[in-house]
A and B are shown apart, each in its own frame.
Chain A
């Protein structure tokens, strides 16, 4: 069995994606659930080590390498791929099912890659496959958003590739090892490329742009894989970069501000991905064993509760066809179980004791405090106020209570409840038994979440956030506006870029076509009918006119005959 286990999980996922192309509907749903679980079961049998290398164009690639750090990420990526596939069980859409598996293959490929080149290949696979989960919504709005998403990720991939090329030129190695700011341009280019996927403002706008426009089921995969695989890469390459502490704090608060303004429920959740990933980025930046364990643990927890929240929001969209707070309201009685399951996700992300957000978020906050970064600690606590405010209060209050808009609800497939139930169970399980998660963490750092001072910190904070919300709740109702973000630069400038870059090229081609037309007309006029040469001034005629054309024809034939004879004689005697 170990022989089979040594095949990379990305291969299993990619093979499943290929199978999807030919399998009938009934089998596809099963394969999408079972294959990630099989890959997960095989992965757990492996000890850290290198399992698959390959040569490509003279480069030695490490395609499958297990470390204590990438193991945690691999486990959660495979687990969430299986649960998201349960949520999508009812789907009869081959494109999405293939795309989701390839996307998962990309994510675990990045996670277990041991060199820069394999990492880049899987990185690009993720970008392309995930874009299909946006396209698959098949609305004009989604297709446009999908192309914006794809272009931003290609730009990010190019930065990464540029950095990798320079890094290889500098060091002569493609091995994935920690980078330092002193390495200059290569390291910074790689950081920029990874920053796109980690959704670091101002390079983040693809996330709240595309995620709310993805399909109901596709958004689950997206919420889990792209940003967290980038967090993993940050942990490997950029641990302890001070800049990331402040970048992370900025992310945590940036998402909070925009979540106040957002109206679409999945966009609010999307902005809170940025906020939550901010904690992880700060954890990477602090660079202590505790903070980096915190980043890995928080990625693990975050994937579980964020997928659950996206599933809850997706269930609301599936049932009502609406996604904006200004169009939702009063669903509590009709969607009781969705509400209950959503709230478990909301308590988790808000860091309520006994749920899994508490056991991982508090690690990063404590690590900041322990490293004497008091300002960072307080700002991260402020961000968690915002998290509870939006995900725990704004979304559920205005979706499930608020103004009852008498929406018609279609029943949602049972498999959606099953998937949400599994995640709600896991969110609670890890919250109650944090040791299950802590035992997987890569670094040596002792931590106990359920201590008196953590409760002193968390309980009044959340209670009074609720009171603050209650006092100002009317201000938080959704408003029918959009909030411009940094995608403004490429969305508003698109018409100008069009005029500047596409316009001249088009004008050039148009001028070329006009010139070609004139040349053709000229040639046709001159050469189109050689008979016209013989009757100057009278123009060409389609029919033979003996009076006009017999004489010149006779003369020219006689001339040809004469010169042929003369030429033959000259050639014969001239030898």
Chain B
């Protein structure tokens, strides 16, 4: 990605940060609402975790050759 792309990604993030800091209070606030850009970290870590955990499960147990179910025929 070019620098321009990163800037385009930063704009909505900064906008959301501004809304979080200066926008209206959440009607039923959660403890994590006070952490600036909590959801950015959540998205990034979640994404990485999903990929790593799923791939590990796949390698350890789940992935089989494509003809796995055809061998008994």
A interface with B by C-beta (< 8 Å): 256-258, 260-261, 369-370, 374, 377-378, 381-382, 385-386, 389, 451-453, 455-472, 475-476, 479-485, 491-492, 494-495
Contact = CB atoms under 8 A, between A and B. Distances in A.
8 smallest beta-carbon distances between A and B, as pairs: A468-B47, A260-B54, A464-B43, A460-B40, A452-B23, A464-B44, A461-B43, A385-B46
B4 interface: no
Contacts of A482: 63-66, 68-69
Interface in B29-66: 30-31, 33, 37, 39-48, 50-51, 53-55, 57-58, 61-66
Contacts of B26: 453
A492 B69 CA distance: 7
B47 to A, nearest CB: 3
A465 B66 contact: no
Nearest to A371: B28
9 contacts: A261-B57, A381-B46, A385-B43, A385-B50, A456-B16, A456-B19, A462-B43, A463-B40, A485-B62
Contact of B12 (A459, A470, A472, A485): A459
Given A389-B47, A484-B68, A464 B41 contact: yes
Contact of B43 (A257, A463, A472, A480): A463
Contacts of A462: 43
B9 interface: yes
Contact of B55 (A260, A382, A471): A260
Contacts of B13: 459-460, 463-464
Contacts of B20: 456
Contacts of B63: 261, 479, 481-484
A455 to B, nearest CB: 6
B65 A452 contact: no
Contact of A256 (B28, B44, B50, B55): B50
A484 B50 contact: no
A485 B68 CA distance: 12
A476 B39 CA distance: 22
A113 to B, nearest CB: 37
Given A457-B39, A463-B9, A463-B40, A257 B65 contact: no
Given A385-B46, A452-B19, A495-B72, 16 more contacts: A256-B50, A257-B50, A260-B54, A385-B43, A385-B50, A459-B39, A460-B13, A460-B43, A465-B44, A467-B44, A468-B44, A476-B51, A481-B63, A481-B65, A482-B66, A485-B62
A418 B53 CA distance: 40
A256 B27 CA distance: 30
A218 to B, nearest CB: 22
A475 B46 contact: no
A455 B19 contact: yes
A458 to B, nearest CB: 8
Nearest to B58: A261
B42 to A, nearest CB: 6
B1 interface: yes
A461 B23 contact: no
Contacts of B24: 451-453
Given A381-B42, A385-B46, A484 B62 contact: yes
Contacts of A452: 19, 23-24
Contacts of B42: 378, 381-382, 385, 461, 464
B71 to A, nearest CB: 10
Contacts of A377: 30
B3 interface: no
Given A369-B28, A481-B65, A483-B62, A461 B40 contact: yes
Nearest to A491: B69
Nearest to B37: A460
